[in-house]
Structure 1
Amino acid sequence: MDMKRIGKQGKRSFGVGLLMIMLQFFACNEKGKESPRHDDEEDKTIEIQVGTRTVQTNRVTSSGTPVVPMWKAPMATVDLRNGAGFPILSEAEHAVVWQPAAREDGAYNHYACLIHHKGRFYAMWGNHELGEDAPGQRVLYAWSDTWGSWTVPEELFPAPGPVQPRTESGIHLKPDRWAVIDDELYAITYVHGAGVYPIARSVGENGKLGEPFLVENLPSNGALPIYMQGSDAPTTAPPIGVRLYNWYRENNHISWWAGAAWGVQRRAVDGQSLIESFIYRAKDGGLVLMLRDWGTPSNPVHNNRMYVSFNDGTGGWATPHPTDIPDSPSRAQGITLDDGTVLLIGNQNTNRFDQALYLDRDPMTISVSKDGYTFDKVYTLRTNSPTGYRFSGVGGRNLGYAYSSSIVLDGWLYTLYSIGKEEMGITRVPLSALEL
């Protein structure tokens, strides 16, 4: 037997083994860099009560607040504009709803709302020429009878007051929901900057618009849009307004701006300020309320987590708790399919928590939960967004695809959204692409 050869082979095997161990170490290290959870794990599982639901968790935030575990999917990678490591839905189809030709048309466009009614898609959104939530912000709408082809937008709710820069304060509008009652379509928008309350109007198939009316009684500090003022200015909601107000509860909806009157607490258990509430029904029939942490680039108080609340047993909602669902941050929406599967459409593209990140809203994602309580799959619906704007000097914009509004129709998911808060786009994807 050649002992020299055995010695050489042993050294070679040892070297290869050492190399493999090193490669595995670096691979694991890189994997950790791409998808760290950044929750501190407790040594033992604890129970917390969130409304009527008992939750077991061994995760806490960096400040020690227990986290409601709802995320078993991978975290995003840092390669955001290439899908953030999530499978990109190649079957998705994208179309432009509207691009403003000039600043005067409104270079700021956001707050998407989508519905399908009597064979036609309707889209509405907030619009201003100078910036986000500036005085005089109005609401535009368009419709489509054929995929990819949209009408030229028209005013749905005109400017409620003087059009001014966002450095000024004043009355402005934010779209909230489309609703159908007695086979008639209604658009609901919220007045801000003069109290916070909803108004609505009907939208006919021929484009004829009904007169605006109150959905709730005018608050004591409220002021009406200029076109609702006059000697007969309303202060109480008419019967159709009351029906629309009740429509939310009857159809498991809630306003993005719901507060105390809806039993929604805007201050979380850890003291964080929360905004933009939405509801979905879990597979077991329970209602789930979610909100996002509030923050801006100049006020980085957010922690890149979604917050959750469950029914408190008295008709309201328990104090919201942080979850481990990542958030860019951005507005999200939950949709329950017929089989109880829940789709969370938003920007779940954060790769770490509790560090006040403010990321571009790219990619736009779809997260999937079989029961509505645990999300274990994530897909990229759209990515590689524009890295700049066509119009400069418009305040309050963010790059990416965001603030979506989605519906399911004939086996397809349709999603309307803003592109950099400058344009409006729409995407559709077959539900089969989500491996449901």
Structure 2
Amino acid sequence: MKKIKLPIYITLLFITCHSANGQNHSPIRNNYRTEAGVPHLKIGRSMIYSPGKSWLYNHHPSIIHFKNKFIALWSNGLIDEDSPGQRVIFSVSTDCIHWSAPAVLASPRLDHDTLTVLTAAGLYQHGGRLVAYYGEYTKHRTNTHLWAKTSIDGMHWSTAIDMHVPLIPNHGPEMTKSGRLIISGNFTFPYTDDASGLSGWKMSCFYPDSLYSQDNSATFYAPAAKLGLPPLCEGSFFQTDDSVLHMLLRVTGKGWKGRLWLTESSDNGKKWSHPVETAFSDNDSKFHFGRLPDKRFYYVGIPDTLHHYDRTPLVLSLSNNGELFDKNYIIADEPYKLKKAGLWKGGQYGYPHTMVYKGCLYVIVSRQKESIEIIRTKLNKLPSTSIPPGNN
């Protein structure tokens, strides 16, 4: 066959476009379609906190095991989501069944006669010290800061330490194979090589620096619109054996089409590729990726696209290679009845965060952004890995 030689300007145009946009498709995908036929996991569950008549908003939970204690952290507001006066609280358990009454980790401060808004931003431990992170911004989502407090017993905490990065994290620091820590934000992913997680944070993003000055729940719309992208936010990453970091992103608002997007880094989080759409289904919610002790990759989230924003069922999906997540299990799908309506309160299983500890997978979720629940399942009790009918 005779080779066709393209004019040099066409060749250069193709190379330029391809380089600017990164890969033009993503191999990362799932095969979830509906709940029908998907096996249910055997689980244990415990309600960590359900409010009475006050402090009715509870969301953004995370879980860790530290010095023989399970510690849960979350955002706690009076009625509405992310309103002035929102604080960060925590609860402690020795058995993950019985939980202490919540205690305040951080309270908002006054800014021009209005309280700021605090958002729980994850937990991390190193060298016998526990670190709790939380973000802060003012009423109109400006002056964004990331703070941390430390503890040696999970009960008593230091004064606030400024992390000197302007973001509200989606997940707390997670470690790459090199030991580098990376925070998954909305569209920025700060990193540090300080193992304590308390200093040296450097901003990193797939957007040019000129398009943003801070990263919070109001700032991800503008840079996306300027580049012709849907509103991308709330990332979670995993790292494959070739050291590539794969950061999946939620799409929300009018841009939602039922799919996650992807940006990747081949230099340990310094630079990120132009985002592309994946064939990984999503209900418009936060999710969490990780890796099991047997080296399989996992996803916990809401892959249903038939009931937008209902955030049910909560699903575990597994992958052998980090590309096709084809083993699906229902973690939970029981409904929770909302006690008191509030701004943006809703979603049966909201914002899951996970932890693997001593042969169990722990999943902490908010229920209708009102109560906080912990769910656990034994990894050696996973049912058959055969693909159910209708989920091929």
TM-score by length of 1: 0.69
Q: Which residue pairs with 2:206 in the alignment? A: 264
1:277-356 equivalences under 5 Å are 277-295=235-253, 300-311=254-265, 315-351=270-306
Question: Between Structure 1 and Structure 2, how many residues are aligned?
Answer: 331
Q: State the Cα deviation string for residues 273-315 of structure 1 (Å, max 9, x = none).
A: 10111221124432111110022xxxx3311111111116593
1:315 corresponds to which letter in structure 2? K
Q: Quick one: distance in 1 between partners of 2:126 and 2:21?
A: 32
* Superposition deviation, residue 158 in structure 1: 1.2
Q: Quick one: distance in 1 between partners of 2:344 and 2:273?
A: 32
Instruction: Name the CA shift for 1:309/1:207 in 2 (closer, same or farther; >3 Å).
Output: same
Q: Which residue pairs with 2:215 in the alignment? A: none
Q: Which residue pairs with 1:21 in the alignment? A: none
* Superposition deviation, residue 434 in structure 1: 3.1
1:417 corresponds to which letter in structure 2? V
Which sits farther off after the overlay, 419-428 or 375-384?
Answer: 375-384
**Equivalent residue of 1:407, what SS?**
strand
* Superposition deviation, residue 139 in structure 1: 0.5
Q: Which residue pairs with 1:101 in the alignment? A: 52
**Equivalent residue of 1:322, what SS?**
strand
**Equivalent residue of 1:432, what SS?**
helix
Q: Quick one: distance in 1 between partners of 2:332 and 2:80?
A: 25
Q: Which residue pairs with 1:237 in the alignment? A: none
Q: For 1:146, which of 89, 95, 111 is the aligned residue? A: 95
Q: State the Cα deviation string for residues 76-104 of structure 1 (Å, max 9, x = none).
A: 2xxxxxx4542211x111111011111x2
Alpha carbons 1:340, 1:371 under 8 Å: kept: no
1:49-128 equivalences under 5 Å are 67-76=25-34, 83=35, 85-89=37-41, 91-102=42-53, 104=54, 106-128=55-77
Q: Quick one: distance in 1 between partners of 2:293 and 2:79?
A: 42
Q: Which residue pairs with 2:345 in the alignment? A: 397
Q: Quick one: distance in 1 between partners of 2:90 and 2:319?
A: 32
2:39 corresponds to which letter in structure 1? P
* Superposition deviation, residue 407 in structure 1: 0.4
Q: Which residue pairs with 2:361 in the alignment? A: 413
Q: Quick one: distance in 2 between partners of 1:85 and 1:99?
A: 32
Instruction: Name the CA shift for 1:370/1:389 in 2 (closer, same or farther; >3 Å).
Output: same
Q: Quick one: distance in 2 between partners of 1:381 and 1:53?
A: 35
Alpha carbons 2:43, 2:331 under 8 Å: kept: yes
Alpha carbons 1:272, 1:293 under 8 Å: kept: yes
Structure 1: 5+ residue stretches without partners: 1-46, 55-65, 77-82, 223-243, 352-356
1:93 corresponds to which letter in structure 2? G
1:115-264 equivalences under 5 Å are 115-161=64-110, 171-192=116-137, 193-205=141-153, 207-216=155-164, 250-259=179-188, 261-264=203-206
Matched, 1:377 2:327: yes
Instruction: Name the CA shift for 1:320/1:137 in 2 (closer, same or farther; >3 Å).
Output: same
Q: State the Cα deviation string for residues 170-221 of structure 1 (Å, max 9, x = none).
A: 621111121113210010111132422210111342621111110116x6xx
Q: Which residue pairs with 2:216 in the alignment? A: none
- Cα RMSD over matched residues? 3.1
2:50 corresponds to which letter in structure 1? Q
Alpha carbons 2:314, 2:332 under 8 Å: kept: yes
Instruction: Name the CA shift for 1:331/1:262 in 2 (closer, same or farther; >3 Å).
Output: same
Alpha carbons 2:32, 2:281 under 8 Å: kept: no
2:77 corresponds to which letter in structure 1? H
Q: State the Cα deviation string for residues 217-247 of structure 1 (Å, max 9, x = none).
A: 6x6xx9xxxxxxxxxxxxxxxxxxxxx9897
1:369 corresponds to which letter in structure 2? S
**Equivalent residue of 1:250, what SS?**
coil
* Superposition deviation, residue 157 in structure 1: 0.9
Identity, % of aligned pairs?
23
Alpha carbons 2:110, 2:116 under 8 Å: kept: yes
* Superposition deviation, residue 372 in structure 1: 1.2
Task: Identify the structure with the greater helix proportion.
Answer: 1
Structure number with larger C-alpha Rg: 1
Alpha carbons 1:70, 1:324 under 8 Å: kept: yes
Q: Quick one: distance in 2 between partners of 1:431 and 1:252?
A: 26
* Superposition deviation, residue 316 in structure 1: 0.8
Instruction: Name the CA shift for 1:160/1:290 in 2 (closer, same or farther; >3 Å).
Output: farther
Q: Quick one: distance in 2 between partners of 1:275 and 1:208?
A: 33
